[in-house]
Amino acid sequence: MTQSNEILKEHFMVKFQALVDIVAALRDPEKGCPWDIKQTRESLVPNFIEELYEVVEAIEDKDYSALREELGDLMLHIVFLAQIAHEEGIFAMHDVLEAICNKLVRRHPHVFGDVQIDDADGVKMNWERIKKQEKKERESVLDGIPRALPALIQAHRIQEKAASVGFDWKDMRPVLEKIEEEHEELMEALADNDSDAIREEMGDYLFSIVNLARKLGIDAEAALKATNRKFYRRFRYVENQYNEEEIHEASLEELDKHWESAKSQ
């Protein structure tokens, strides 16, 4: 390791330890901050989720100044949760770091061992295989996917994990045929006006579309969010053609005319 790398490493260690020390000071029962002292693991969950989504938003916006800040906020929450565990004698920050370092080495035997894997798909399959061996309490390869994940991301992870054991179509044709099949079943449920069947078939239809996105290497969640933002921009253009009262009186034909104008721009 070069001298400059050694300096950077030392600088990082000093800064990271400074963050750990600051959080510990904020949590000091006598001299700390009343708000920080009051927090629990459970109370931090909403803020933790919010910070995570702010990181995602900064990535999507390619706002790297915001990303730097939001990553710091997210790291703060990680250190904060580790500090609470340390206070309770459960584990400390160094245990968290040691655990993830050991896991990364174990699950990358093609990098840190003598296993030969040539492509990313093979890496994923081997990762899931090792994970299944480590998590012996899990009965299925699908276990361990967080229930709180957004549904599109959860669907992607379910399909990805199933594919890790070979349960996946090799080419695109059956994927497209499955979408057509689910579309026809949804149309039948709509024709029967069966609300339970409509809900079920809509879920199947969405699941099959997520599978197509996965096969195309597209993040369905990110793709839908991009479409949401596009719709927002175009609808704001439509709104700007009216005052607050006028838009409620406009016909669909008029609104659609402005929508097409927004698309052309």
Of residues 22 and 8, which shows the higher confidence score?
A: 22
Categorize the per-residue pLDDT at 245 as very low, low, confident or very high, splitting at 50, 70 and 90. Answer: confident
* Domain assignments of the chain as residue spans, ordered by start: 3-106, 226-264
pTM for the full model? 0.67
Angstrom distance (rounded) from CA 95 to CA 99: 6
For the chain, percent of residues with pLDDT exceeding 90:
71
Nearest to 20 by CA among 97, 102, 101, 103: 97
Q: Is the pLDDT at 132 greater than 80, yes or no?
A: no
Neighbours of 86 (CB within 10 A): 20
DSSP assignment of 122-187 equals HHHHHHHHHHHHH-TT-SSTTTT--TTS-HHHHHHHHHHHHHTTT-S-SSSHHHHHHHHHHHHHHH
Burial (CB < 10 A; 0-12, 13-18, 19+), residue 228, is exposed
Give the CATH class of 3-106.
Answer: mainly alpha
Angstrom distance (rounded) from CA 145 to CA 131: 13
Structure confidence at residue 1 (pLDDT): 59
Average pLDDT value for the chain: 92
Of residues 3 and 23, which shows the higher confidence score?
A: 23
For the chain, percent of residues with pLDDT exceeding 70:
100
What are the angstrom distances between the C-alpha of 226 and each of 56, 57, 150, 230? Answer: 12, 11, 15, 6
Angstrom distance (rounded) from CA 111 to CA 102: 13
Q: Is the pLDDT at 190 greater than 90, yes or no?
A: yes
DSSP assignment of 198-216 equals HHHHHHHHHHHHHHHHHHT
In which region does residue 25 sit, left (phi positive, over 0), alpha (psi from -120 to 50) or beta (all else)? alpha
Categorize the per-residue pLDDT at 243 as very low, low, confident or very high, splitting at 50, 70 and 90. Answer: confident
Tokens of 165: 């054991």
Q: What is the pLDDT of residues 81-130, one digit of tens each?
A: 999 999 999 999 999 999 999 999 999 999 998 889 888 888 888 887 88
